[in-house]
């Protein structure tokens, strides 16, 4: 400890200093040096920082759902997974080292821990692991006493986990506390309680000059691990933010490429003239065709050619996001995004899926058995899956569209601001080829 709260010792030290004046300065300097050592900022590990930035939203959501402190959850995740790098989490998405036990009926992996080849729970996604961890604590009588502790008192929570036998490591609770204090994880507990908000200054460790490691996620399985349905998984995925709430006015950079938010109704030709860019180049920069001459909804418009690789390893799909939105939001060419993720035109990933932004990380994940689950595949993968209202068949009158020369299904979907998958389903299209004069039904909200 850097401080000694012993008044008798302090009084004795003061008496010595009064008695021996020549030692006062020396004693003070020694004390000052000791204090300096205590206050040296902890060197931040970029892998841990990346883990925090990736999973803090899940930790906050789970705290609001069940009461497990976000600080504790993140600290346990960091410790149990080596900040997302452990073999167990790579193979199973198990972020909390939860073993199978007799009641577990989901997917399993076998891993050496306290003994060789122990059975551990395997999950379809990190979100499933976070949810199961919360339920594991909340629904067990063994941990019931923890929920009577103030969630801000992370030390008591950490000690309680150790007392209840969560881990065999005698230093487990101290390690949790160290991570919480070194990385200010209690901030996220306060956010979940509504006592703090994340301002721009508090967006933890998001500086542009920080080297972010590529974290390769675990194998995605199609089993219903943990009993959670795909519909439940979608329900926990955050909604994509409106562009104007997320990005500044004027020009800025995404993935070291100049971009701006263009208002709905803006002619692309006017933007090309304003920024002195050839019209066909502006279309090419943004994966657009001439039929997208008017911006139908607020949209990111790149003023330079996007890059082939993303700045980070992957992007987790939000509700309401299309593949095109991800390409724009991450500043990566649409063709590269489709190539890395082995997707065809018109295929859209399910919310919560990881979409890879770098060729190497994509190859590693696919070599490990990773697959992208598509929205229109979920009924086959999980018979009980119910599509959410965004993807369900509409009941409103249809608008008829007559296909014109050089029009594509993708361009028509963009024009009417509908999902291409819905457009294909409404018209029972087996492929994306269109013929001039073909009649398409479009259900506008």
Q: Which of 174, 194, 228 is the last residue of a domain?
A: 228
Count CA atoms closer than 13 A to 426's CA, side-chain side: 25
Is the confidence at residue 389, as pLDDT, over 70? no
Q: Do 366 and 407 belong together in one domain?
A: no
Q: Do 94 and 222 belong together in one domain?
A: yes
Q: Do 158 and 81 belong together in one domain?
A: yes
DSSP 8-state code for residue 283:
H
Contact 37, 29 (CB under 8 A): no
Q: Do 340 and 364 belong together in one domain?
A: yes
Residue of 276, 286, 280, 281 lying closest to 306 (CA atoms): 286
**200-240: per-residue pLDDT in tens?**
434 444 333 333 333 333 333 333 333 334 444 455 566 77
Is the confidence at residue 16, as pLDDT, over 60? no
Contact 30, 165 (CB under 8 A): no
Q: What is the mean pLDDT of the chain?
A: 75
Residue 392 belongs to a domain = no
Q: Do 219 and 167 belong together in one domain?
A: yes
Domain count, the chain: 4
- The reported pLDDT for the residue numbered 223 is 35
Residue 52 belongs to a domain = yes
Rounded Cα distance, 119 and 124, in Å? 16
The sign of the torsion formed by the CA atoms of 98, 101, 103, 107 equals positive
**Percent of the chain predicted with pLDDT > 90:** 20
Residue 373 belongs to a domain = yes
Phi-psi region of 304 (alpha: psi -120 to 50; beta: other; left: phi over 0): beta
262-264-268-273 Cα dihedral, nearest 10 degrees = -60
Query: What is the model's pTM?
Result: 0.41
Contact 353, 317 (CB under 8 A): yes
Residue 387 belongs to a domain = no
The CB density around residue 214, as the number of other CB atoms within 10 Å, is 15
Question: Residue 260: which pLDDT band, with cuts at 50, 70 and 90?
Answer: very high
Q: Which residue has the tokens 């460790």?
A: 205
Average pLDDT over residues 66-72: 92
**Percent of the chain predicted with pLDDT > 70:** 72
Average pLDDT over residues 20-40: 44
Q: What is the radius of gyration, based on Cα positions, of the chain?
A: 27
| Domain enclosing residue 417, as ranges | 399-442
Is the confidence at residue 53, as pLDDT, over 70? yes
Q: Do 129 and 174 belong together in one domain?
A: yes
Q: Do 376 and 418 belong together in one domain?
A: no
Q: At what angle do helices 70-81 and 126-138 cross, to 10 degrees?
A: 120
Rounded Cα distance, 95 and 83, in Å? 9
Question: Residue 102: which pLDDT band, with cuts at 50, 70 and 90?
Answer: low
């Amino acid at each position: 400890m850097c401080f000694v709260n012993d008044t008798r010792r302090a009084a004795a030290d003061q008496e010595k200093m009064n008695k021996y004046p020549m030692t006062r300065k020396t004693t003070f300097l020694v004390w000052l040096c000791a204090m300096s050592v205590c206050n040296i900022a902890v060197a931040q590990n970029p892998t841990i920082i990346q883990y925090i930035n990736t999973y803090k939203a899940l930790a906050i959501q789970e705290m609001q759902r069940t009461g497990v402190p976000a600080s504790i959850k993140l600290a346990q995740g960091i410790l149990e997974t080596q900040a997302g790098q452990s073999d167990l989490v790579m193979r199973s998405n198990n972020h909390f080292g939860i073993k199978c036990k007799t009641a577990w009926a989901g997917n399993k992996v076998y891993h050496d821990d306290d003994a060789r080849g122990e059975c551990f729970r395997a999950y379809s996604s990190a979100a499933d692991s976070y949810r199961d961890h919360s339920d594991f604590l909340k629904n067990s009588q063994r941990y019931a006493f923890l929920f009577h502790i103030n969630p801000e008192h992370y030390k008591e929570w950490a000690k309680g986990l150790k007392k209840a036998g969560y881990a065999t490591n005698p230093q487990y609770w101290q390690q949790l506390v160290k991570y919480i204090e070194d990385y200010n994880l209690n901030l996220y507990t306060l956010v979940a309680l509504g006592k703090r908000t994340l301002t721009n200054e508090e967006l933890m460790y998001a500086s542009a000059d920080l080297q972010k490691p590529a974290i390769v996620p675990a194998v995605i399985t199609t089993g219903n691990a943990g009993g959670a349905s795909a519909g439940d998984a979608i329900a926990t995925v955050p909604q994509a933010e409106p562009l104007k709430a997320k990005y500044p006015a004027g020009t800025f950079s995404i993935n070291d490429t100049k971009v701006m938010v263009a208002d709905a109704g803006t002619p692309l030709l006017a933007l090309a003239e304003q920024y002195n860019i050839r019209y066909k180049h502006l279309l090419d920069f943004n994966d657009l065709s001439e039929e997208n001459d008017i911006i139908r909804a607020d949209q990111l418009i790149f003023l330079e050619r996007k890059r082939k690789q993303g700045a980070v390893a992957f992007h987790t799909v939000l509700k309401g996001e299309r593949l095109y939105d991800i390409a724009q939001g991450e500043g990566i060419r649409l063709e590269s995004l489709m190539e890395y993720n082995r997707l065809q035109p018109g295929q859209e990933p399910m919310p919560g899926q990881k979409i890879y932004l770098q060729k190497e990380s994509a190859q590693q994940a696919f070599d490990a058995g990773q697959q992208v689950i598509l929205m229109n595949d979920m009924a086959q993968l999980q018979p009980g899956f119910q599509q959410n209202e965004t993807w369900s068949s509409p009941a409103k009158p249809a608008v008829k569209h007559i296909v014109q020369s050089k029009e594509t299904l993708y361009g028509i979907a963009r024009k009417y601001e509908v999902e291409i998958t819905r457009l294909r389903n409404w018209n029972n299209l087996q492929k994306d080829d269109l013929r001039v004069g073909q009649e398409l039904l479009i259900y506008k909200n």
